[in-house]
Amino acid sequence: MLETLHEQVENSVAVGMATDYDLLQVKASYNNILYQMKRTQSGVALCRMALSSMIGIDYDSVYIAPDNTINIAEMPSNISSDISERPEVKLMNLQLKANKLQVKMTVGDYLPTLGLALGYIWFGNIKLRGDFLFDQIGLLPINPPVPYHLNKEFKYDAPVLMLSLKVPITKWWEGSYNIKKAKLEVENSRLDKERNEELLQLEVRQAIFKLEEGYQLIEASKLALDAATEQLRMANNRYEVSLTPLSDFLDAQLKWQQAKSDYIEAQTQYLIYQVDYKRVIGSLQE
């Protein structure tokens, strides 16, 4: 638009229908646009460098997504404040469950223990064979010695039953202390869980508030853009028939550009609020 206007004003100056001041105004606006475009390109390059450094890849490997039109039709109606899917909440629930199990384990360490074992013993195929001569009985000699032949087989089988009872009488005081300590750990975990859930709920309410506020800003900036677009159209038509000065036309262009920038910023900020909202309710992975 400014390039076309610059060409028109330059031609008008050549034929004496516009002044050099008018041409300088157009050039100033045009140079300002070039300056803003250069700043934008530098900002993209810096963001690309930061991203490549953060994720540990080469600068040239960072893909720059093309510009797309952002379409946000309406505010979503299914806004939820449920935080049950938050990783922090799941971790706190597991911690509370582990502490409750620790109480049961501590109680079990100081309860009487009854043990029962059943078994069966068998041995056999043990044989003793041999010939012996008894030449004395005690201190009494035997003459002639008496021969003896041994041929015996041994075998045995029997069931076995063992029963044991362990009562930790001497550790009752220690057990009472440890059980109370384990129950206090459960209570501390429960209180920490309630306190942290309140903080997480506050974070969710803030995210919902920002989401609603962001959508309202989109609506407001859209109305401002429509008004600036209509003003620019009217200023362009009036300028073409020489009913408005060049400064008013340039001012209308500047207001339209600012309104368009505000509208894009409101949309992108809303998308950022939307991502943050999904994060605080634990559905960002979707």
pLDDT digits 0-9 by tens, 200-233:
999 999 999 999 999 999 999 999 999 999 999 9
User: How many residues are recorded in the chain?
Assistant: 286
88: exposed, middle or buried (C-beta count within 10 Å: 0-12, 13-18, 19+)? middle
Parse the chain into domains and list their residue ranges. 1-66, 76-110+170-286, 113-166
In this prediction, residues 252-278 reach a mean pLDDT of 92
Q: What is the CATH T-level fold of the domain 76-110+170-286, as seen in this structure? A: Outer membrane efflux proteins (OEP) (1.20.1600)
Beta carbons within 8 Å of 126's beta carbon, 6+ residues apart = 153, 154, 155
Helix ranges restricted to H, the chain: 2-14, 20-55, 87-109, 172-240, 246-280
Determine if the pTM surpasses 0.75.
no
In this prediction, residues 127-148 reach a mean pLDDT of 75
Query: What single letter denotes the amino acid at residue 55?
Result: I
109-121 per-position pLDDT tens digit: 888 888 888 888 8
Is the confidence at residue 169, as pLDDT, over 80?
no
In this prediction, residues 129-156 reach a mean pLDDT of 76
For residue 163 the two structure tokens come to 């029963």
Taking each helix axis as running N to C, give the angle between helix 87-109 and helix 172-240, from 0 to 180 degrees, rounded to the nearest 10: 180
SS3 at position 155: strand
